[in-house]
Chains A and B, each alone.
Chain A
C-alpha cells in the first residue's frame, strides 16, 4: 500500500506554500507599509480590497484570476508572449495561493507596523535617516516577529489551498495535484486508506506550523 502513496502532492504543496508565502510577504508588507496609519477614504477602499480575498469564496477568487490570467484574459496573452503560463501550471497554483493568503499577511503586518512606537520612527527621522532606512532599520525589525507569525499562518493556509488552485492550475497528477486535491481525488475514488493517510499528514504539518507560530508570538509577550 505504501508504494501507492506518491510523495509528490506533499512536496508540491510545500513548494507552492513556500513560494506563495514569500510572494505574499513581500506584497503584504508592502501594502501594509503604504496603508498603515492612513485614514483617508482612498486608503479605506484599498484596505477593503486587500482584505476581500479572506472572505470571498476561493472559487470566486479563481474566477477573477482566470479573467486576469486566462488565455483570453486581460494579462494572459501578454504573459504568454513572455513565456509565462499560469493556467494549469504549478506557478498558477502559487498565484492562486498567494491571492488567498495575502490578507493574512497584510492584516498581521499592518497591525504590527501600527504597533511600533511612532516616536521611534520620528527619532530616526530627526537623526537624518531617509524613509526607506526608517522602515528597514527601525519599523520592520520591531514588527518582524508579528509579521513572521502571520506569515506562518499564511503558510499553513497555503498548504491546504483547494478552490482557487483547482480553477487556475487544475488537477493534473504529477504536475498540479496538491495535497488538498489528492485527498479529494482519493476520497472520490473510494481509496479511504490513502485519503486518511494524506489527511493525517496535512493535519500534522499544519499543526506543527501553528505551534511554531504560537511560540514565536508567545516569546514576545513573555
Chain B
C-alpha cells in the first residue's frame, strides 16, 4: 500500500532532529508506534504533503506522491489522503454541517464558490446527511465545534475526512485527547466503522492498546529511525502489557539519555 523513504533534518536553534526512514507495507492497517518526538507525526505529514522531506520517495498504491530525484511533489490537495488531526482541527467558525460540507465544496472553482455563497446557507448534501446519520451526530448538525464533546468532535472530524473519499486515512493519535473511559468505547466503534468503510489506514500512536486493536503491520519508531518493522502483527496478538515491557527494554537500549534535540511534536 505504502512505500516511503525519507530523510529530513529539522533545526531549532542549536539543536537538530534527523528523520531517516525507509519502509514499505502492504497491510491495509499500518500502525506507527513510538515515543513522542520520534518522528511519527512528521512521517504522517510527509505522506499528506504537509511537510517536505529533504530527499526521498513516497509511493501510495501505484502513484508517486513525492520523489526528490525526479522532482515530483504533489500538493496535499491532490494526494487523495484523509487526515484526522490529533486535536481534530474542526473549523471553529463553521457549524458541524458546514464543516462537513466544506469537504465537498472545497473543490469548487471560483464561480461555483460564488454562486454557492449567494445560495441558501442551509443547502444540504445527501452525503453529509448520510454520514452524520451513520455516526449518530445528525442531531448536532447546527452546533459549533466548541459546543461538542471530545467524542463528538472526533466523529465529526472522521466524517469530514472520509467525505473526500480518500485512498488512505491517516490518524494522528486519534484517542489521545479523549478521557480513558471514552477512549475504550471510541476505539471499538471506530474500529467497527472503519472496517465497514473498508478504508486502509495509517495510524500513529504511543498507546499499546491502539496497537492491539489496529495494527496489521507495526513500525517501531525511535529517535527518527525505524527500530523494527513487525509484519502480520494482529495474528500474534501481543498484549498491551507485553508491548509495554518490550518498549521499556527498547527504551533502555536506545533512549538511555534524555532526548537532546528538544522536538516534542515530530
Max chain A CB contacts within 10 Å: which of B79, B91, B110, B160?
B91
Which of A123-179 touch B at CB < 8 Å? 123-130, 132-133, 137-138, 141-142
CB contacts (< 8 Å) of B92 on chain A: these are: 120, 142
CB contacts (< 8 Å) of B87 on chain A: these are: 119
Question: B81 interface residue, CB < 8 Å from A?
Answer: yes
CA distance A117 to B82 in the complex (A): 19
Contact across chains for B93 and A124 when beta carbons are under 8 A apart:
no
Question: A191 interface residue, CB < 8 Å from B?
Answer: no
Residue of B nearest to A136 (CB): B113
CB contacts (< 8 Å) of B107 on chain A: these are: 128-129
Contact across chains for A123 and B77 when beta carbons are under 8 A apart:
no
CA distance A128 to B104 in the complex (A): 9
B83 contacts which of A122, A133, A137, A141 (Cβ < 8 Å)?
A122
CB contacts (< 8 Å) of A119 on chain B: these are: 85, 87, 89
Interface size on A, residues (CB 8 A): 18
A-B Cβ contacts below 8 A, count: 62
Interface size on B, residues (CB 8 A): 26
Main secondary structure of the interface of A (DSSP, over half): helix
CA distance A62 to B213 in the complex (A): 69
CB contacts (< 8 Å) of A127 on chain B: these are: 102-103, 106, 160-161, 164
Which of B101-119 touch A at CB < 8 Å? 102-103, 106-107, 110, 113
CA distance A128 to B81 in the complex (A): 9
* Cβ of B78 to closest chain A Cβ, rounded Å: 8
* Cβ of A220 to closest chain B Cβ, rounded Å: 12
CA distance A126 to B91 in the complex (A): 13
Contact across chains for B76 and A122 when beta carbons are under 8 A apart:
yes
CB contacts (< 8 Å) of A142 on chain B: these are: 92-93
Question: B262 interface residue, CB < 8 Å from A?
Answer: no
CA distance A122 to B88 in the complex (A): 11
* Cβ of A38 to closest chain B Cβ, rounded Å: 15
CA distance A122 to B79 in the complex (A): 13
Residue of B nearest to A138 (CB): B91
Question: B202 interface residue, CB < 8 Å from A?
Answer: no
CA distance A138 to B106 in the complex (A): 11
Max chain A CB contacts within 10 Å: which of B48, B77, B83, B110?
B77
CA distance A144 to B235 in the complex (A): 52
Max chain A CB contacts within 10 Å: which of B49, B79, B113?
B113
CA distance A122 to B77 in the complex (A): 10
Known contacts A119-B87, A126-B76, A127-B106, then 17 further A-B pairs from the complex at CB < 8 Å, ordered by chain A residue: A119-B85, A120-B89, A122-B45, A123-B83, A124-B91, A126-B48, A126-B49, A126-B77, A126-B83, A127-B161, A128-B103, A129-B77, A129-B102, A129-B107, A138-B91, A142-B92, A142-B93
